[in-house]
Structure 1
Amino acid sequence: MDDIDDELRRLFSDDRLDVHVTPDATDSVVRGADRRRRRRAAATGTFAVVALIGAGLGLTQLRALDDPTGGSLLPTSSSTATTTTPPPLVSTYTQTVIVTVDPPPGSQDDIENGSVPPKSNTPSTATSPSKESAPGVFGKLALGMSEEDALKTGSLTTPGADTGQGCKPYATVSNPDPAAVLVSAAKGIVRIKLPDTAKTSKGIGAGSKVTDLKSAYPSAAVNGSELVVQMTATPKWAYVFENDGSTVTAVRMRLADNDCPGA
């Protein structure tokens, strides 16, 4: 134990183990510390600059996102006022003209049943008196129809005696008059007498005033005790209104081209 202590004392007292400090050692340490402080300061400044640059770039990107126009300049409005001349006013005038004409005649079935309502006695200004026109049809029968075809309709009932001139009279289901229909062997049906309850498409029938008849048919022509209204339909025919001078007593339809006396 004493030997170890003696050896340690010897080593610590050996001058060769002493650390010799140069006279400028203190200055060197101070200068080194200064250099380290400057490096730290420079590094801190650089970091701050980089941070500022990064922040600036971030703000720029935010502005770009907030500004959908991409930072383009908005056009400024011109200080010069533009004067536009308004278009001229256009006035539109519309005129409606109402022309009253006779409605189309009712079906012959309606006439046969007497269900066609009377028409106004005022003559139509849209139809010339010389151009009266309507089909020569009554119910299922038509002027010019052959006897065979007429019998097929079922409208003819009791046949009368042949006049000897090839003309045969018939009663009909709507008119018991034995001569309501007159059929020619050559011309077919040449006469159809309307029932007393039936009226024409203009509301004229048995019992109508002659004045009303002339108002409804201005083209009516006097033929003895009859008033005849010619029609321009094909085949041509006429209304024959029998009357006593003041009242219509019977109405019949007559084929213009017929060969039966008294048709």
Structure 2
Amino acid sequence: MNVSEDELEQRLRALFSDERLGVEAASDAAPAIVAGARRRRQRRKVLISASGAVCALAVVSGGLAVVKFQAATGTADLTASSLTVTDVSPSSSASPKDSVGAPAPGPQTQEPPASVGAPASAPRKSHAPVPPPPRSTPAKVTKGPLLTADGLGNVKLGMTEQQLTDQGLTLTPVKESAGCTYYDVAGDGVPAATAVVSGDEGVVVVKPDGAAHTPEGVGAGSAKEDVTAAYPDTATSSDGLVAPTGDGAYHFTLTDDGSVSSVDVRATNQTCAA
């Protein structure tokens, strides 16, 4: 029950004037009691106002926490300015419920920043040409006898017919052409071969019968690329490839598919064989 100050003062005066109490109250007792009651009432109002401010602060803190959580998850962008709190003063008689302003508007959904959820840019593909794999080292040919830059076995470029027979070799004439004689050569230390002998220059061509190979491992079965790889100065001739070496040159005859079918060695500047 609420009692006004005037009514309270009248009751207190009536009580103090009652002779049955047997105690004479001081002349300023009533005003002191009224002042004390007023102070208690003011403290009560202050406490009520303070509790309202605490509630408002809790609402603001909760709103800020929601803003931080939503900003971290990228779901919405809500600023603290969307929450409004009414000024609370100790003299206000409003209840804690009324000390908080109108309900804050619902969170405003905004477009997320471009950096949130945006797909990472795909790496650019390089269009630089891919170099071909290095060509494997060709296998060296070792089939047949060894044909060197100066001849085959005991038959050497520049030897005369007499020198050949002095070594016990058998020379069987095959044909003559342009002052040169073609011999089939046989004997110890000489594989079957054909030797072309010039009357002025001696042996100018030595061609093994069948497969043979050079010291660089090029011979029957080698590819054209293997010849040019082993002999960078290789040139093309009417019947194949010519690779200079020493005082002569290797002549490689090619098949239709470009592989080597046979090889012979020839002296430089001879006129017996084209």
TM-score (norm 1): 0.44
Higher relative contact order (CA 8 A, sep 6+): 1
